[in-house]
């Protein structure tokens, strides 16, 4: 773990217009974070309305939905200096996917070409450039700082940190 990752500050609550990430809860989508914007109107009954920045509905419009507040987190900070150099096999990270989401992965190896082979929670392996990776962030609502997610025993892709 990089010391620079500890204590990275973040907003302690969501507010209208704020960009955030939404944790997916469907079994097939656990460990995925999608970018959203928090809509105006405020929280109601522990939920808030968001507009997706990648997912669309049947009319090809950005999906708007009410979601549980604990499933949101602010956008994570930039990668700390030395992050890629510190990535070793077994490290937890998040990978930018073509679907527009960030997926929790475990680093398998660094390739001779300087890329990284990672494995997701479904045991699918991906080889990606370093610019597609970021730390395996964990954020606790109300605390307002980031830390590195810790490996959960028996879980190749780590767990969600909603």
pLDDT tens for each residue of the chain, 162 residues long? 445 455 555 566 778 899 999 988 777 777 789 999 999 766 777 888 999 998 889 999 999 999 888 888 888 888 989 999 999 999 999 999 887 789 899 999 999 999 999 999 889 999 999 999 999 988 876 677 787 777 654 444 434 443
Pair (64, 88) in one structural domain = no
Report pLDDT for 126.
Answer: 96
Residue 123 falls within a domain, yes or no? yes
Is 56 part of a structural domain of the chain? Answer: yes
Residue at 6 is within a domain: no
| Residue 2: closest CA among 78, 82, 76, 89 | 82
The CATH number of the domain where 36 resides is what?
2.30.30
pTM: 0.76
Tokens describing residue 25: 């809860």
- The count of structural domains within the chain is 2
Which residue range forms the structural domain that includes residue 87? 77-148
- Taking the C-alpha atoms of residue 40 and residue 49, their distance in angstroms, rounded to an integer, is 8
φ, ψ for residue 53, nearest 5 deg: -105, -5
């Amino acid at each position: 773990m990089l010391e620079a990752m500890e204590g990275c500050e973040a907003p302690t609550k969501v507010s209208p217009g704020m960009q955030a990430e939404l944790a997916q809860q469907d079994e097939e989508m656990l460990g995925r974070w999608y970018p959203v914007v928090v809509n105006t109107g405020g929280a109601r009954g522990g939920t808030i309305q968001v507009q997706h920045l990648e997912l669309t509905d049947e009319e090809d419009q950005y999906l708007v939905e009410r979601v549980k507040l604990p499933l949101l987190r602010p956008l994570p900070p930039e990668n700390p200096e030395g992050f890629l150099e510190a990535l070793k096999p077994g490290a937890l990270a998040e990978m930018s996917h073509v679907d527009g989401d960030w997926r929790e992965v475990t680093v398998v190896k660094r390739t001779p070409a300087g890329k990284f082979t990672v494995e997701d929670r479904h045991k699918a392996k991906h080889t990606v450039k370093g610019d597609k990776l970021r730390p395996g962030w964990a954020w606790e609502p109300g605390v307002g700082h980031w830390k590195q997610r810790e490996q959960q025993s028996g879980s190749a892709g780590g767990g969600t940190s909603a």
